[in-house]
Amino acid sequence: MGTGAVAVAAPDRAKQRRAGGHLWKKALLHFSLCFVMGFFTGFAPSSSSSWKSAAATPQHHPPHRPGDRLAASRVAVDARATLSPPAEAADALSAGATVDLGDDEEDAAQRRLLIVVTTTRSGPGERRRRRGELLRLAHTLRLVRPPVVWVVVEPAADAPATAEVLRGTGVMYRHLAFKPEDNFTTADAEAHVQRNAALAHVEKHRLAGVLHFADAAGVYDVGFFEQIRQIEAFGTWPVATMSAGEKKVVVEGPLCSASKVVGWFSRDFNDGTTRSVTYNTEADLNPAGAAGTRAHTIDVSGFAFNSSILWDPERWGRPTSLPDTSQDSIKFVQEVLLEDRAKLKGIPSDCSQIMVWQYSVPSSR
Amino acid sequence: MGKGSARALALALAVILACSDVAVVTAQETERIEGSAGDVLEDDPVGRLKVYVYDLPSKYNKKLLKKDPRCLNHMFAAEIFMHRFLLSSAVRTFNPEEADWFYTPVYTTCDLTPKGLPLPFKSPRMMRSAIQLIATNWPYWNRSEGADHFFVTPHDFGACFHYQEEKAIGRGILPLLQRATLVQTFGQKNHVCLKDGSITIPPYAPPQKMQTHLIPPDTPRSIFVYFRGLFYDTGNDPEGGYYARGARASVWENFKNNPLFDISTDHPPTYYEDMQRSVFCLCPLGWAPWSPRLVEAVVFGCIPVIIADDIVLPFADAIPWEEIGVFVAEDDVPQLDSILTSIPTDVVLRKQRLLANPSMKQAMLFPQPAQPGDAFHQILNGLARKLPHGSNVFLKPGERALNWTAGPPGDLKPW
Amino acid sequence: MKSLLPRSELRRSSAAAVRSSAGGAAGGDGAVADGGGAGPRAPASSTFWFLLHALCCLISLFLGFRFSRLLFFMLFSTTALYHSTSSSSSAAVLRATTTTTTTTTTTTTTTNTFTLSFAAANTPPSGPANRTALEAAAEADKAAASGNPQSHVVVGRHGIRIRPWPHPDPVEVMRAHGIMERVQEEQRRWYGVKEPRQVLAVTPTYSRAFQALHLTGLLHSLRNVPYPLTWIVVEAGGTTNATASMLARSGLTVVHIPFPDRMPTEWADRHATENRMRLHALRVIRERKMDGVVVFADDSNVHSMELFDEVQKVQWMGAVSIGILAHTGTADQLRLSEEDKQNMPLPVQGPACNSSGHLAGWHTFNSLPFSGKTATVVGEAAPVLPRGLEWAGFVLNSRMLWKEAEGKPDWVKDLDAVGENGEEIENPLTLLNDPSSVEPLGNCGKKVLLWWLRVEARADSKFPQGWVIEPPLEVVVPAKRTPWPETTPELPSELLDDKQKLEDRHLSRGNKSSQPRGTTKRKGDPQGQDN
């Protein structure tokens, strides 16, 4: 490469010398400057889209090699040039009983991948309930427009039985059989390890999408999943928690103003109390003020985030070295979520519609 | 579009400028695999040929198996099951004079490492010893020097008897087997380890085990692409690029982040079930072009995506691989997603319909006991189709074709 | 990088750029007049020199650009995209790659993590490893050269082809989903029921705290049913807008029927009322002569899709097995040892078969461990258990309800003769004269096809209407800090925190007394550092 540049420049230089000594020096300077400039412009952009188009284009028209390959694959590649689906496929899609795929591809292409992570608890009662609950969540996810990937984390011993339920649902799921190394003393500790296992999977595979931890015991409105697709970085919403056998309905979540999170609230509808924390806009810039808000944690049922934070933290302005994401990813995410409030989106825009319900059973402790 | 192609052009230019000694090579020429309708699968070989089974001392077969019963379970086990099948088969004859084919029951791959991997180092000497034995005890070998004999050699590179391709190519097919018909799993066009007239068979996959993992055929197929297996063989190929000619590594690097590609190195207990809920199953080459995935994909009705240039597929004259599978050139692996998603849905459905055909599945398996149309019968069909023997099979009196002293000196030592 | 233009345009535009920059330089310098500055010569030649200069500048620029791209390209693909046949060149490429990788990874850390990870995976960081790689390549090449010329297999190291665009094309992803959807549809066509009957799902419901939770779950399940379906929803205490709007959003064919009685708060009464509501629905089916298979889908139950396949098989009346998800709760803890709890299988209620596959009896729920510990009032903190045989475990051909239907068996009672005098219909077996004719479904009842669950809050629990939190939210904020929040006065952070602490303490005092011990799902506690 370097030799190429010199070779081109050489005759030019010779001519310039005749014109005057300082001239060719100057010319050479120009050339090298240009070279350096070109060199750096080459590095600078690397926006994935431009890369993509540059590299993808040749594939649209593959060179027809002598001894053309097997018809199936070759035809397939050629067909790529036409971006519209085959007519009969389109018909079938619109006729599809469950998932609405009939919308045009352009719209579909805007849709982010949803990564729904469901952890399981191994308490005796919960294990018995697990299949039914997973089934209910699966039915909801089956109605969400693709692309959706459901990551189910489960102790390896229970996995084959559950797999039977899951595979009947038709949801694209990944079943992470997880080998508990020690007996967990609390359900929280177990959930924590399972979540990290799921995040490790996402990290290893560099799955890019909106990630949410969906509790199988919770109930989601289908529309909810379309809402969280809009999340660019982080999103949060109100969650209703009801207690079985008690007089207790609590809604907790963000206080929002035009999708911007301005605080947090918790409201008990039965004793009528509401507690809230609002952000002081000035404190935002003040590390000491932010510290106050940092102390409260956000439950996993109440947020979703862009999974690229796990494997591309630099994109989010975070040094790679600081948090060891492979160790405790979920904590990392929870911290990032509360620190980077500017990127936090309230869902829906005024955070008033409840689309997630959970219930707790008093005896499950 | 314009800018893209311009850039690509410039890129290519730059590459040529930079390393002018790099020759840009287009992929090798390939031919279409001969395919035909699946009705050949239904053929019954009984009455079309007679096979004489040499009675060898048990040290060539049964004793080896007794020493290591694991030989019954690995993917080379076809040599054992073929022997068992022939012993009780209707095509077997006890009169060697009326036999069309002679079979030498020798278990050359039944020498396993503690981990269960077959070692081929003793195989050449063992094979040589067996051939010496039959050549001295019976007159039939010398009459044709093996041209009417068949051998089951299901090792990685067949009768080349080595698991590393370079070494296998260096060795070539065992000189004593130059005239024999080889029944082997290895199949790659224009390869020294695949001679003309060989019969390529599927690797052995445990039929009972697969049977127990069958799930209802209406289980919705919800995985687009499925693969479980190695991407890098770091133990044997630490720097990558040798194993699977880089194709598996390429699959991982390009598609690990694609939600449609359920690919991993973990082997889950639900492996067989997951194949049955997948639309496409990747069957990339490994150290050799074939793998048990071919069998598993066909049995479980998952469209095999065959990534192995110039592969010769099992029973390619009876199974319409082109109709049921998708062939992707090793060079095209980075475009795998585009290739698969642009297959017209009708074609996908058609492939799946063909895969649902039970005769196709049957032909891939070595069941115990044998069933009509299974892989045993397909092997016999293949042998029957070579009959009657041509004039070149039998040697003239005094004529000699084999060189008994050819090959590496190590192979000439007694077994 | 303005290469969004075709190459010719790119050249032109950068030529302009070069020209202007050259002009600028000349201006600063002062010594050279016009760009290239071959002043005294003829204008033609001056233009020529200038153009030549510009062209060379441009070439340098272009080469520099390409050079950096090449580096990039190599980083991405190691030996990628093109593999060489000749032995020397493959080694050369390899060498070039390894050196560029080691020198540039440090400078390009910001460009792309993809590159880095790949470099790490394939280029062992230590020098000796690189050397061995080269040696191995050379060896391989030798082997290939000495190999049989008949084989045109390239033995040796191959490039690992990695495309420079890292992520899947969303359009292709959607197309793949389209293919899968089609494949699944085709599977249903091949293996599914050929002429499916309509499913008539009967659901008794009423407005309460858990209604949205339960009904949403059921609604999603029903939407997944691959057969024509009519959902008959009977609502106690008359139809409400909340229920109606949920049903409307489901997109299903719904018959929403009001039921005059309010739902009582005692479980025993609620069961009886629900039975009467189901019977009411059956009468509607009879009146309207609705044709299909009746399924009793209670709003809190979970149904597997297999159930709906199975019910297609029913001739007159069928029974399926139900898994009972009684949250066994405190009773469990009292009466069962830890080991028993672990091993206790899911309780199942359903038909039992004899060896010939005919109904032999019923598996019933063993309520012995719960005796005296079950809930009597809806929303009581105690297990709720099924009473006798649950309706949910039965399916029937709607024609057996009709006044007249072809082939209607004589062992079916006329619906008018049942429950007219207000007596409770415990289960659908009451509709029959001969309960032995019930067909066991789901592999003779061996397969659990739905899960029965009863969880309710206390009947007097309040919940937001339509689950919308009415704005403006009654936010408790210190009086001086209104209006909220934009005009919040600047406060030192300590002061702010103190205020919040005060505020939280005040609130939590009122709150904690009513806080039960059992809420494991406490969410984002907004109490700040009070905790």
Interface of C with A in 164-203 (CB under 8 A): 164-167, 169-171, 173-175, 177-182, 184-185
Give A266's strand partners. A252, A275
Residues 6+ apart with CB under 8 A from A323: A313, A332, A335
> How many residues are given for chain A?
365
Q: Any chain C CB within 8 A of the CB of B236? A: no
Any C CB within 8 A of B344 CB = no
pTM equals 0.74
Q: Is C217 on the interface with A (CB under 8 A)?
A: yes
What mean pLDDT value characterizes chain C? 68
DSSP assignments along B64-119, one per residue: HHHH-GGGGTSTTTHHHHHHHHHHT-TTEES-GGG-SEEE----TT--B-TTSPBP
More confident residue, A19 or B170: B170
Distance CA C528, CA C531 (A): 7
* Residues in CB range of B80: below 8 A, 6 or more apart: B61, B65, B71, B72, B107, B110
Between C356 and B3, name the one with better pLDDT.
Answer: C356
Give B133 to chain A, closest Cα distance, Å.
45
Domain with CATH 3.40.50 in chain B: 207-365
- Residues within 8 A of A (CB atoms), B 302-331 only: 322, 325-329
Block residue for tokens 């050479």:
A28
Q: What is the per-residue pLDDT for C165?
A: 84
Identify the bridge partners of residue A174 per DSSP, sorted by sequence position. Answer: A151
The number of folded domains in chain C is 1
Of B161-175, C69-83, C214-228, C422-436, least confident by mean pLDDT is C69-83
Q: Quick one: pLDDT at residue B394?
A: 87
3-state DSSP call for residue B41?
helix
- The C-alpha atoms of residue B395 and residue B400 are separated, in whole angstroms, by 7
Region B107-124: mean pLDDT is 85
Whether B11 has its CB under 8 Å from any CB of chain C: the answer is yes
Per-position DSSP letters for C216-284, written without gaps between them: HHHHHHHHT-SS-EEEEEEEETS--HHHHHHHHHHTSEEEEEEESSPPPSBHHHHHHHHHHHHHHHHHH
Cross-chain Cβ contact B259/C173 below 8 Å: yes
- Beta strands in B145-257, from DSSP E residues, in sequence order: 149-152, 181-184, 199-200, 223-228
Chain C residues within 8 A of A5 when measuring between CB atoms: 59-60, 63-64, 67
Inter-chain contact B344–A86, Cβ cutoff 8 Å? yes
Task: Decide if B345 and A88 are in contact by the 8 Å CB cutoff.
Answer: yes
Least confident of B213-217, B318-322, C94-98, C504-508: C94-98
A77 contact B CB<8A:
yes
| Of the partner residues C112, C174, C507, the one whose CB lies closest to the CB of residue A105 | C174
C417 DSSP 8-state letter:
G
pLDDT above 50 for C108:
no
Find chain B residues with C-beta within 8 A of C124's C-beta: 238-239
Question: How much is the pLDDT for C135?
Answer: 43
**Minimal Cα–Cα distance from C128 to chain A, Å?**
27
Whether B369 contacts B352, CB under 8 Å: no
What is the C-alpha separation between A93 and C183, in angstroms, rounded?
Answer: 11
Nearest to C382 by CA among C307, C314, C332, C446: C332
Whether the pLDDT of residue A310 is over 70: the answer is yes
The Cα-based distances of C26 to A18, A27, A30, C55 in angstroms read: 20, 12, 11, 17
**More confident site: A211 or C56:** A211
- Rounded Cα distance between C399 and C335, Å, is 46
Q: Which of A203-207, A268-272, B32-36, C471-475 has the lowest mean pLDDT?
A: B32-36
Å between C224 CA and nearest CA of chain A: 6
Half-sphere exposure of residue B329, counting CA atoms within 13 Å on the CB side?
Answer: 21
Average of pLDDT values for C31-56? 58
Which of B14, B221, B279 lies at the smallest CB-CB distance from C66? Answer: B14
**Residue among C89, C140, C167 minimizing CB distance to B22:** C89
Contact (CB<8Å) A73/B327: yes
Q: How far apart are CA C217 and CA B363, in angstroms?
A: 46
Least confident of A255-264, A310-319, B250-259: A310-319
| Least trusted range by pLDDT, from A7-21, A226-240, B117-131 | A7-21
- CATH number of the domain encompassing residue C440: 3.90.550.10
Residue tagged 């060189």 (tokens): B403
Q: What's residue A221's pLDDT?
A: 93
Task: Kindly state the tokens that stand for C512.
Answer: 């904690």
Q: Do B332 and A170 touch (CB under 8 A)?
A: no
| C-beta of residue A168 within 8 angstroms of C-beta of residue A159 | no
A193 vs C112, higher pLDDT: A193
State both tokens at C280: 């009411």
- Span of A215-229, B342-356, C491-505 with lowest mean pLDDT: C491-505
| Contact call for residues B202 and B185 (beta carbons, < 8 A) | yes
**Residues A303, A235: Cα–Cα separation, whole Å:** 5
Of all residues in chain C, the percent with pLDDT exceeding 70 is 56
C135 is a domain residue: no
Does C163 reach chain B within 8 Å, measured CB to CB? yes
Least confident of A45-54, A134-143, C398-407, C415-424: A45-54
Q: Identify which has the larger pLDDT, C520 or C396.
A: C396
User: Mutate which of C252, C267, C520, C529 to test chain A, going by most A C-beta atoms within 10 A?
Assistant: C520
Taking alpha carbons only, the member of B12, B143, C189, C507 closest to residue A271 is C507
User: Which of A15, A39, A53 is the best substitution to test chain C (most C C-beta atoms within 10 A)?
Assistant: A39
Which residues from chain C sit within 8 angstroms of residue A129, using beta carbons? 325, 327, 451, 453
Helix or strand (DSSP H, E) at A176: strand A173-178
pLDDT score at C132:
40
Residue given tokens 């600063």 in the structure block: C28
Kindly state whether A149 is in contact with chain B, defined as any CB-CB distance less than 8 angstroms.
yes
Spacing of C-alpha B46 from chain mean position: 25
pLDDT for residue B183: 93
Amino acid of residue C155: V
N-term to C-term CA, chain A: 69
What three-state secondary structure class fits C90? Answer: helix
pLDDT, position A71:
33
Q: Has residue B137 got a pLDDT over 70?
A: yes
Question: What pLDDT shows up at residue A141?
Answer: 95
What are the structure tokens assigned to C406, written together?
């072809």
Structure confidence at residue B224 as a pLDDT band (50, 70, 90): very high
Say whether residue C233 is in contact with chain A using an 8 A CB cutoff.
no
Q: Is A89 on the interface with B (CB under 8 A)?
A: yes
Residues from chain A contacting residue B326 (CB–CB below 8 Å): 72-73, 76
Show Cβ contacts of residue B301 under 8 Å, excluding neighbours closer than 6 positions.
B217, B276, B352, B355, B356
The nearest alpha carbon in chain C to B29 belongs to C152
Residues C185, C190, C195, C199: is their CA dihedral positive or negative? negative
- Residue C435 domain flag: yes
Which of C70, C136, C176 minimises the CB distance to B14? C70
Reduced to 3 states (helix: H, G, I; strand: E, B; else coil), residue C495 is helix
pLDDT at B60 over 50: yes
pLDDT at B164 over 90: no
pLDDT of res. C167: 83
**B330 and B308 Cβ atoms separated by less than 8 Å:** yes
Average pLDDT over residues B327-340: 94
Which residues sit opposite A177 in a β-bridge?
A: A154
Write down the mean pLDDT value for chain B.
85
- Inform me whether the pLDDT recorded for C483 exceeds 50: no
Residue C116 lies inside a defined structural domain of this protein: no
Right CATH number for B207-365 from 3.30.70, 1.10.3470, 1.20.1250, 3.40.50? 3.40.50
- Torsion of the alpha carbons at B238, B244, B247 and B251, rounded to the nearest 10: -70
| Phi, psi dihedral angles at A51 (to 5 degrees) | -60, -45
Checking if the pLDDT of C170 tops 70, the result is: yes
Q: What is the pLDDT of residues B265-307, one digit of tens each?
A: 988 889 999 999 999 999 999 988 988 999 999 999 999 999 9
**Domain-located, residue C528:** no
Residue A342 has what DSSP assignment?
G
- Rounded to whole angstroms, the Cα distance separating A301 from A309 reads 18
CA proximity to B217, closest of B346, B360, B353: B353
Task: Look at A70-84, B309-323, C464-478 and tell me which has the smallest mean pLDDT.
Answer: A70-84
Q: What is the residue type of B390?
A: G
Burial B133-156 (b: 16+ CB within 10 A, else e): bbbeeeebbeebbbbbbbbbbbbb
- For residues A166 and B219, give the distance between their C-alpha atoms in angstroms, rounded to a whole number: 10
Give the range among A11-20, B384-393, C126-135 with minimum mean pLDDT: C126-135
- Chain A residues whose beta carbon lies within 8 Å of the beta carbon of residue B270: 159-160, 163, 175
Which tops the pLDDT comparison, A37 or A58? A37
pLDDT greater than 70 at residue A81: no
B27 touches chain A (CB under 8 A): yes
User: What φ, ψ does residue C403 adopt, rounded to 5°?
Assistant: -60, -45
Site of tokens 């008949």 = C150
Provide the shortest C-alpha distance from residue A142 to chain C (in Å): 8
Reported as a pLDDT band with limits 50, 70 and 90, residue B408 is: confident
Q: Residue A51 has what pLDDT?
A: 35
pLDDT of residue C143: 42
Contact A280 C488 (CB under 8 A): yes
> A147 preceded by cis ω (within 30°)?
yes
Segments forming the whole domain that contains residue C401:
197-328+344-452
Q: Which residue has the tokens 């009662």?
A: A125
pLDDT of residue C413: 85
Pairing relation of β-strands C229-236 and C199-205?
parallel
A86 CB near a chain B CB, below 8 Å? yes
pLDDT tier, C476 (very low <50, low <70, confident <90, very high otherwise):
very low
Q: Coil, helix or strand for C510?
A: helix
Looking at residue C412, what is its pLDDT? 86
Partners of A155 in the β-ladder = A178
* Token pair listed for B57: 């001392």
- Element (H or E) spanning C22, and its range? helix C7-29
Among all residues of chain C, which has the CA nearest to that of A293?
A: C528
Residues 235..274 of A with a Cβ closer than 8 Å to C: which? Answer: 238-253, 255, 257, 262-271, 273-274
**pLDDT computed for residue A38 by the predictor:** 65
Q: What is the pLDDT of residues A339-359, one digit of tens each?
A: 777 788 888 878 888 999 998
Q: Does B347 touch chain A (CB under 8 A)?
A: yes
Chains linked to C by 3 or more Cβ pairs within 8 Å: A, B
- Which chain B residues contact residue C191 at CB under 8 A? 216-218
* pLDDT-based confidence at residue C148 (cuts at 50, 70, 90): very low
Q: In this predicted structure, what is the pLDDT of residue A40?
A: 63
Chain C, 285-304: which have a CB under 8 Å from a chain A CB?
302-304
Question: Which CATH number fits the domain A109-360, given the four candidates 3.60.20.30, 3.30.470.20, 3.90.550.10, 3.20.20.150?
Answer: 3.90.550.10
DSSP code at position B358: H
Q: Are C441 and C313 in contact (CB under 8 A)?
A: yes
A106 has pLDDT over 50: yes
pLDDT score of C344: 65
Closest CA to A293 of A258, A341, A325: A341
CA of B254, closest CA in chain A: separation in Å? 10
pLDDT tens profile C366-391:
766 666 666 777 767 677 777 778 89
Instruction: Give contacts of A 322-351 with C, CB under 8 A.
Output: 350-351
Please name every residue paired with A267 in a beta bridge, in sequence order, or none if there are none. A251, A274
CA–CA separation, B253 vs B247, rounded Å? 10
Identify the pLDDT of residue A362. Answer: 64
- A167, A174, A207, best to mutate vs chain B, most B CBs in 10 Å: A167
pLDDT of A121: 82
Q: Which chains touch A (3 or more CB pairs under 8 A)?
A: B, C
Which of C56, C61, C171 shows the shortest C-beta gap to A9? C56
Distance in angstroms (rounded) separating the CA atoms of residues B73 and B206: 7
Q: How far apart are CA A82 and CA A89, in angstroms?
A: 14
> What is the nearest CA distance from C78 to chain A, expressed in angstroms?
16
Q: How far is A35 from chain B (nearest CA, A)?
A: 14
Among A57, A73, A99, the strongest candidate for a mutation testing the B interface, having the largest count of B CBs within 10 A, is A73
A113 touching chain B per CB within 8 A: yes
